[in-house]
Amino acid sequence: MVVGPAGAGKSAVAGELGRRLGWPVADGDDFHTAANIEKLRSGQPLSDGDRWPWLAAIGRWIDGHVAADRPAIVTCSALRRRYRESLSDGRNGVWFVHLEVSPAELERRVGGRRDHFMPVSLVEDQLRVLEPLGPEEPGIAVNADEPLEVVVESIIRRLP
């Protein structure tokens, strides 16, 4: 799983990892309900009540790949530890790549988007609730301020 706040580069990193490794990729944004997307588009952060069904849908996607013993990549903000725990609990092989990006760069990236529902006004909220990947969680943190190729190479070198 490629995780991190809006603008961290999850889709770009996951896409390039998928291309290089030959693994299927799913974008966590595609699992949101229309109501969630509209709420975000209007500048309102999602509540836990909004997030749990979304996380459950991503979990079902993961379950299909785990059951088939097929590696795959999915993106998801997974900002809080309890969200990551819900996505990894009982799912053998789930491994997180937490993309770390400076707040100024996140705002620049999100502000430059023209085709995405997440407004730049919610970057601060995401950073407020962000809980970095803990040392006991399965995965790594990667500096995603670097160019895409550098980020992807760093991840590939550190895959379990």
pLDDT, tens digit, for every residue of 88-112?
999 989 999 999 999 888 878 766 5
pLDDT of 113 > 90? The answer is no
pLDDT digits (tens, 9 = 90+) for 33-61: 888 888 877 878 788 899 899 999 999 99
pTM of the model: 0.89
End-to-end CA distance of the chain: 13
Between these two residues, 104 and 62, which has the higher pLDDT value? 62
pLDDT at 43: 78
pLDDT at 94: 96
pLDDT of 140 > 90? The answer is yes
Between these two residues, 21 and 107, which has the higher pLDDT value? 21
C-alpha–C-alpha distance, residues 85 and 151, integer Å: 24
The CATH number of the structural domain formed by 2-158 is 3.40.50.300
**CB contact set of 42 (below 8 Å; sequence gap of 6+):** none
Q: For residue 97, what are the CA distances in angstroms to 37, 93, 154? A: 24, 13, 10
Domain ranges of the chain: 2-158
**Percent of the chain predicted with pLDDT > 90:** 67
C-alpha–C-alpha distance, residues 59 and 88, integer Å: 8
